Every structure is written in C-alpha cells, then in structure tokens.
Amino acid sequence: MARIVQKFGGTSLANIEKINNAARLVAQAVGDGHEVAVVVSAMSGTTNQLAGWAEEISDNLDPCEYDVVVSAGEQITAGLMALAIQKLNIQAQSWLGWQLPIRTDLQHARAHIEKIETEAIAGSLAQGVVAVVPGFQGVDQDNRVATLGRGGSDASAVALAASIRADLCNIYTDVDGVYTSDPRIVAKARKLDKITYEEMLELSSLGAKVLQSRAAELAMRHRVVVQVLSTFHDLPGTLLVDEDSGVEQQIVSGIAFSRDDAKITLTNIPDQPGIAAGIFGPLSQSNINVDMIVQNASGDGASADLTFTVGKNDLESAISVIEGARSSLKYAELMSDDNVTKISVVGVGMRTHAGVAATMFETLAEKGINIQVISTSEIKVSVLIAKEYTELALRSLHTAYGLDSESSSR
Amino acid sequence: MARIVQKFGGTSLANIEKINNAARLVAQAVGDGHEVAVVVSAMSGTTNQLAGWAEEISDNLDPCEYDVVVSAGEQITAGLMALAIQKLNIQAQSWLGWQLPIRTDLQHARAHIEKIETEAIAGSLAQGVVAVVPGFQGVDQDNRVATLGRGGSDASAVALAASIRADLCNIYTDVDGVYTSDPRIVAKARKLDKITYEEMLELSSLGAKVLQSRAAELAMRHRVVVQVLSTFHDLPGTLLVDEDSGVEQQIVSGIAFSRDDAKITLTNIPDQPGIAAGIFGPLSQSNINVDMIVQNASGDGASADLTFTVGKNDLESAISVIEGARSSLKYAELMSDDNVTKISVVGVGMRTHAGVAATMFETLAEKGINIQVISTSEIKVSVLIAKEYTELALRSLHTAYGLDSESSSR
C-alpha cells in the first residue's frame, strides 16, 4: 500500500463526463489499496472567465479580492470531484485551502506555500477517505484567501505530496508525458520515460507547458517522485528522477521554446561603470524580470549597444521605465521587438560534453537563422531568433541532437 | 450617520455593468455618511449551473459537498463587488462565510444561521471599510461550508442586519417593492409603501417571490427595518413595519398565488380514529410537508374522502408513501392533480373585519370558478382552484377587495 497524490488539470475536468472519468482513475488507485489525495485545477476556461470579470472592473486590482474571485474555480471542481468519487461508492471529502489549511505568504495572486497542516487530512486518509484538495489556493496569516499564480495547481500537488510524504505524485494532463519537444510542432518528438528534476525545471522555466516550473522546483527540493501522464490514455508517463538514479544521460533531453519574450535594444550608451545598474535597477524596482542580456561594444570603445529581453507583458512598462530615465542613461535610441522566439536546448549531459552550443549555432547558421541573443547556464543553451523561424529551428535542432523518434507516430 | 445593510439579488449582479451599478448605490450610501455592509447573491443563473453540474453527477448528493460547489457563486460576486466598490475609491473588503464567521446548524443545503460573529466586521465598518458578505453561505460546527437553501441570501442580509444592529436593511431587487399582487398578471396591482411583518411573511410563504419567507420571519422576530426596493429605479420601495407603527390597516393588503402545489384525494377511507395519523405520520417521516387538508364525509357517514395538498416536487414520493401503506389505510382510490393554483388573500385587517372569506367565495363563484380546497389562518384565506383560472381569479379578487390602482400604469 502506498500513499499517492493524483493531480488533474483543467482539460481533464472540463465537464462532468471528464470529472467522472478522472474519478474512475481515483477509484482504480483506491481499489489497488492506496491512500489517495486528489488535487484539482479549475475546469478549463473557468479561471480565465473569473479573471476576465475582475479585470473588466479594474486594471489595478486589489490582489486580495482578485484571489477571492479566482479561487472559486478550484472550489467548484473540488466539490464536484468529491461527489463523483462518492458516486463510485468510495468515501471522499473536500478540504479547501483554509480548511487544511494550506498556509501561504502574503504575496496575493502569486503566493508561495509556506506550510501545509497535515494532521487532519492524514487521519482522514488513514480511515480510507479520499481527500480532495483544490489546487492554486491557500490562506495567508490574516486568514484571507491567497492564490499561487497561473499553473499553481501543479505546485499545490507537489507541495501536498511532500507534506504528507506521498510515495508518488501523479500529474494527470492532456498529453502522455514530457516530450523531447512540442509534438504539435516537431512531429518526430519522443516521449521521455524519465527526466531529471534539473532538466524538467529548465524545460518548464523555458516554455514547456507540461509541468509548471515551480512544481518542478518543489519536486526537486523535496525529492518528490513525480509522474506526468495522460488522463485519457492508460499508459506510463514520464518520471522525474534524481540525476544519479541510473537514468541514461542524454546530452540533450529536450528542446523548449517560448514566444512570451520581447527584446529591447538601447544604442550608443556610454561605456562607463554604473550604466547597467542605472538600467536594470529601475526595472527590478518595477518588478520587471530581465532574462537574456548582451552588450556589444561599438567600434570606438566609448559606447556600446545593450540588448536584453523581458516578458512580452512587461514590454510597455519596461519601455516607459527606461524612457523615464533617459536623461541619466544617455542612450541614442530605444528599439523594441516582440516578434521573437526563445529556443532552448536542455540536458544534464552538457556538463560533461562540450560542443552542445557549437552544434546549436552551426545548425541554425546552416538554415540561415540569425541568432539575436544568446544565454547559457550549466545545463541549457538559449537563443533568441525571429519568430518566423520557430518551427524550422525546433525541427532542425531536434534532428541535429539525435532526438528524432524512428517513426513520427505518437 | 446610520448603519445600513444593502442586499443585491442575482438579477442586480448579472454582469459586470450591473455590479458596477450596484457598487454606485453603495458609494452613494457611503457618501451620505453611512456605515455599509453589503450582502450579495450569485450572478443570476450561476447557482442553477453549479447545482446542475452536481445533479448531473448524482441524484443522491452528499449535501456537504453540494454546499462546497454551490457556495462558490456568492464568493465570486463578493470578490467582484469588493473590487467594484474599491474602483470608486472606497475601501471595501469581502468576508466569506467562514471568515466572519457565519455559524450555521448542520442541515446542509438548507441550513439555518445560528450566530454571526460581528467583532471583526464591526471594527472594520467603524474604520469606514465597506464589508461585502456573500449571502446563502455559512460554516457549520465542523468548519465545513453550509448553504441556506434557495433564496437564502435574503435571510443572510436580515440576519446580518440584526447581528450588527443595522438601522436599515435594503433588499435591492428587480421590482420596485411589494405589490398588492403580481403586476405581470394583475396590471392594476399597486406598490405598497408599507406592509406589516406578518403580512409580508404570509405573502412570501404563499408564493410572492419578492422576499424570501425566512427573511421575512427573521425580520419580524428581530424587528429589523427592511425595505424592498429596485436596484434600477431610484424610488422608495416598500417598508416592512410593525403592525402598531401607524400604517393604515387595509383589510386585505395583497393577493398571492402559488403554482407549486399538487392535490391528492383518497376516496372512501373508513371514517374512524387513527386514519389521519396513518396517512400524515408516514408523510411527515418522509419529510413531506402537507399544507391544506379537507375531509368530506360521504352520505352513509361510515367513510369519507380526504383531500390534501403537498409540494409539486413531493407529489411522486407522497403517492408512493401512501400506496405503500394502502393495506392499512383501506382507501378506495388515490387521485392526484398538479394542475392547480393556490390563491391567497392576506391582510392583518381580517382580524377585525368579517366577510373577507365570503367576498372571496362570492367573487370566485360569480366567475364560475370552483373552489377545491379552502384553508384559513388569522390573517389569510387560501383557496385551491384549477390552474387555468389563475389570472381571472387574481384580477377579479384584486378588484373585489378594492386594491386596484386608479391607473394601470406602473
């Protein structure tokens, strides 16, 4: 007998038929003798609708009240899932964020889980009652509802699994697992049987949608055994594992992409100390994350061009922050471009294999794709390219790193 | 400066434009210097949708989980209303049922409010923060969400008003107040400026939809000053008042009707002691409320026909309960009819004026309308008639009791 967390995403709970289907997966695990806690997202579309209503009222929202509104979606599916499990003659009870409670910090709309009280739920699980917990929500120290930000239900599931020391955390979704790249674009993408926590974290952070990056980080930190698998096909998924757990290390495990970045270039900035701080300080104070940065000295050595990327949603505010500091920054021109894609190759094997970056640059050069910005970390290389080359770049790199499956069937 | 509760129904909150409109009514009261607590229903249609999903899963629902699902509707509007008030530069905070808390008994899906803790909310009101409270919900002694049954938001508002000793409880709805009869049927119906608690309670119980009967009961018990008025027209509504508060007593204040009843007749039951208990005991044990009852002795005096009404929703189960006891009840035939309407005339003036019932019977007889069952109380006379005569009966009685307005304009 094991203790299992089963997390269902919004597409797996999109209507009552699908909720009943998910409940059958819960019943199967209970029938196999396991203690089961279920974490649910909102029905697909619900969170967008609720957030849309709030944003229709104001574009400068009190995040505490925003959280009251958007957390309702997971409350609804938690109750419905408990009912659907009960219908299969299995005891089930919902535990809302404030009931467990799931304690968060005070950063509403993007809160972090600090602690999950498990005494009550553990007692209930031990009595054979399935616990159904709404993802995405918790309660802060002032007893107000707090949500974890988009995709936060994955983090809820992994945090719950860590807290109740679950043997396995199954993340049910609408794909069969983690792929070497997005199969909708790269037909030859292969499903991975295993992936290391570090690789999953990089892939998630770099645009792969299959698992939210904070969930990957929590899984890595607490060494939670996570499996990403399909709600709709009864197949093994992809297991997140330790690097030293015997998984055969590929040099590159996956290729992710993101269309959520935008590029800003400042030309002819004086090449002197303090200029970078003058730019990135105010951006950081405005809560704008800067990702890739590259600086090219000009011919005369006295000035330079600076290029960096920010989230596409932050582009407008980033521009206004910089233009507000124009007198001190003394740049010649500000250019922006949101018609870009960030492509990233990820693999723990890079640590010991040279040439991964070189292969990337050569492959893209062969196809005539210009690299605008480069950034690297221990286990990834990311490049920014013009958006129109996204598909070509993904497929070429997938082939170049030997990731193609033998058939293109899924 | 007064302390006011403002309650908005689902049609007053049906979309963001209407929520903003309701928020302006709140801002107006705050601008007038009042402390304001707001109670909200779910957006119209939401509760039906949530209940529909739950009922799609099972027709034998765990009411605890049902309550988790359906209470989400008021949570959503509470957050949205707080945001809409804030948008008008007025401080506002939502207080969910479990946050106040609003304590209920354990009868999930039809719970009663036992106590509302007011310390925190009173402090907040005193600081000029508008409190927004979702109607319909509370929390039971086990810390689980409980809902009050359909229309329960009116009861929430009146209970809150009683708890925080509000000077006035405004029930905003889609009609201008309490009418002498349903203006959609009786064009000459008049809006009442005042009505006694007792009359309002009778009218609500007998089918008038303008205020939920439990809310009228709570208002009467706690002497809460309630006004029923329109969200959409800036007009005075109808004030609920004490009988001795100087309101001019009309003999009849209003005529209500209900199409929610069904009639059962048992023929030739033996006219002997214990038979009534044999019929109504099992119905009561099955939680079926019996309303009107009439027994006609047959010619020989040894047997009688018994006719009574139950809620239309309970008709099937009532029939099966009675048929299950057929051997001991020894009736000849069971006949049922749900094609009936109950018409009730209500007025505290009846206590001192004879002839109200006689006027009713004469008026209906003149129009050739057969009275099937009669029941009376101190301040009302109800009759059951064939449904097809509903409009004719309402309009004739409205004229007969001198309730018609001079013009038929509203």
Give the separation between CA A403 and CA A401, rounded to whole angstroms: 6
Residues 6+ apart with CB under 8 A from B149: B109, B110, B111, B214
Asked whether the beta carbons of residue A57 and residue B143 sit closer than 8 angstroms, the reply is no
Q: Pick from B19, B75, B82: which is nearest to A72 by CB?
A: B75
Give DSSP secondary structure letters for A116-175. E--HHHHHHHHTTPEEEEETTEEE-TTS-EEE--TTHHHHHHHHHHHHTT-SEEEEEESS
Residues 6+ apart with CB under 8 A from A272: none
- Distance between A231 CA and the closest CA of chain B, angstroms: 19
Structure tokens at A7: 């997390």
In 3D, which of B31, B34, B39 has the Cα closest to residue B8? Answer: B39
Instruction: Name the band, by pLDDT with cuts 50, 70 and 90, for residue B409.
Output: very low
Kindly tell me if the per-residue pLDDT of A261 is higher than 70: yes
- Distance between A391 CA and the closest CA of chain B, angstroms: 41
A326: helix, strand or coil: helix
Contact in structure between B80 and A53 (CB atoms under 8 Å): yes
Contact in structure between B78 and B136 (CB atoms under 8 Å): no
Give the separation between CA A204 and CA A181, rounded to whole angstroms: 12
Kindly tell me if the per-residue pLDDT of A349 is higher than 90: no
Please state the pTM of the whole predicted model: 0.87
Residues 6+ apart with CB under 8 A from A12: A18, A21, A22, A41, A172, A173, A174, A231, A232
Give the separation between CA A240 and CA B151, rounded to whole angstroms: 50
Give the separation between CA B82 and CA B85, rounded to whole angstroms: 5
Instruction: Name the band, by pLDDT with cuts 50, 70 and 90, for residue A338.
Output: very high
**pLDDT (mean) for A271-295:** 85
**Between residues 150 and 179 of chain A, which touch chain B (CB distance below 8 Å)?**
none
Looking at residue B327, its amino acid is: S
Phi, psi at B320, each rounded to 5°? -70, -30
Q: Pick from B19, B57, B84: which is nearest to A83 by CB?
A: B57
Mutate to test the interface with A, among B17, B49, B69, B145 (most CBs of A within 10 A): B69
Min mean pLDDT across A68-77, A310-319, B239-248 is at B239-248
Phi, psi at B374, each rounded to 5°? -125, 140
| Cα–Cα–Cα angle for A349, A355, A361, rounded to 5 degrees | 120
- Distance between A145 CA and the closest CA of chain B, angstroms: 10
Structure tokens at B302: 């040894």
Scan for tokens 């250019």, then name that residue: A335
Give the separation between CA B346 and CA B356, rounded to whole angstroms: 10
- Among all residues of chain A, which has the CA nearest to that of B68? A79
| Any A CB within 8 A of B133 CB | no
Q: What structural domains does chain A harbor? A: 3-174 (3.40.1160.10)
Asked whether the beta carbons of residue B66 and residue A50 sit closer than 8 angstroms, the reply is no
Instruction: Name the band, by pLDDT with cuts 50, 70 and 90, for residue A408.
Output: very low
Asked whether the beta carbons of residue A69 and residue B62 sit closer than 8 angstroms, the reply is no
Encode pLDDT of B133-173 as tens digits: 999 999 999 999 999 987 899 999 999 999 999 999 999 99
In this prediction, residue B274 carries a pLDDT of 76
CA distances B409 to A306, B235, B402, B405, Å, are 73, 15, 17, 8
Encode pLDDT of B378-408 as tens digits: 889 999 999 999 999 999 999 999 999 875 4
The total number of residues written for chain A in this structure: 410
Sign of the CA dihedral B59, B60, B63, B66?
Answer: negative
Give the separation between CA A269 and CA A272, rounded to whole angstroms: 9
In this prediction, residue A378 carries a pLDDT of 85
| Cα–Cα–Cα angle for A326, A328, A329, rounded to 5 degrees | 65
B134: helix, strand or coil: strand
Asked whether the beta carbons of residue B79 and residue A69 sit closer than 8 angstroms, the reply is yes
Give the separation between CA B314 and CA B316, rounded to whole angstroms: 6
Structure tokens at A277: 């701080």
Give the separation between CA A147 and CA A349, rounded to whole angstroms: 36
Asked whether the beta carbons of residue B83 and residue A76 sit closer than 8 angstroms, the reply is no
A35: helix, strand or coil: strand
| Any B CB within 8 A of A72 CB | yes
Encode pLDDT of A195-248 as tens digits: 999 999 999 988 888 899 999 999 999 999 999 999 999 899 999 998 776 666
Structure tokens at A379: 């286990």
Q: Pick from A62, A68, A87: which is nearest to B75 by CB?
A: A68
In this prediction, residue B21 carries a pLDDT of 97
Asked whether the beta carbons of residue B79 and residue A96 sit closer than 8 angstroms, the reply is no
| Any A CB within 8 A of B88 CB | no
Residues 6+ apart with CB under 8 A from B245: B194
Asked if the bond preceding B134 is cis, omega within 30° of 0, the reply is: no
| Any B CB within 8 A of A133 CB | no
User: Is residue A48 within a helix (H) or strand (E), and if so which, with residue range?
Assistant: helix A46-57
**pLDDT (mean) for B62-75:** 97
- Distance between A228 CA and the closest CA of chain B, angstroms: 27
Q: Pick from B62, B86, B99: which is nearest to A86 by CB?
A: B62
Burial class (CB in 10 A: 0-12, 13-18, 19+), B186: buried
Min mean pLDDT across A166-170, A350-354, B127-131, B338-342 is at A350-354
Instruction: Name the band, by pLDDT with cuts 50, 70 and 90, for residue B298.
Output: low
In this prediction, residue B410 carries a pLDDT of 38
Asked whether the beta carbons of residue A57 and residue B16 sit closer than 8 angstroms, the reply is yes
Instruction: Name the band, by pLDDT with cuts 50, 70 and 90, for residue A124.
Output: very high
Kindly tell me if the per-residue pLDDT of B196 is higher than 60: yes
In 3D, which of B25, B18, B38, B15 has the Cα closest to residue B153? Answer: B38
* Higher per-residue pLDDT: A352 or B93: B93
| Any B CB within 8 A of A325 CB | no
Instruction: Name the band, by pLDDT with cuts 50, 70 and 90, for residue A25.
Output: very high
| Cα–Cα–Cα angle for A124, A130, A136, rounded to 5 degrees | 100
- Distance between B6 CA and the closest CA of chain A, angstroms: 19
Give the separation between CA A288 and CA A285, rounded to whole angstroms: 7
In this prediction, residue A238 carries a pLDDT of 96
Encode pLDDT of B99-116 as tens digits: 999 999 999 999 999 999
Give the separation between CA A142 and CA A179, rounded to whole angstroms: 42
Looking at residue A310, its amino acid is: V
- Among all residues of chain A, which has the CA nearest to that of B69? A76
- Among all residues of chain A, which has the CA nearest to that of B98? A98
**pLDDT (mean) for B23-34:** 97
Min mean pLDDT across A183-187, B233-237, B260-264, B375-379 is at B375-379
Looking at residue B46, its amino acid is: T
Using only the alpha carbons of chain B, give its radius of gyration: 23
Asked whether the beta carbons of residue A65 and residue B79 sit closer than 8 angstroms, the reply is yes
Contact in structure between B292 and B375 (CB atoms under 8 Å): yes
Kindly tell me if the per-residue pLDDT of A330 is higher than 90: no
Half-sphere exposure of A257 (CA within 13 A, CB side): 25
**pLDDT (mean) for B297-320:** 86
Asked whether the beta carbons of residue B72 and residue A68 sit closer than 8 angstroms, the reply is no
Encode pLDDT of B235-290 as tens digits: 999 999 987 766 666 789 999 999 999 999 999 888 777 777 888 988 988 889 89
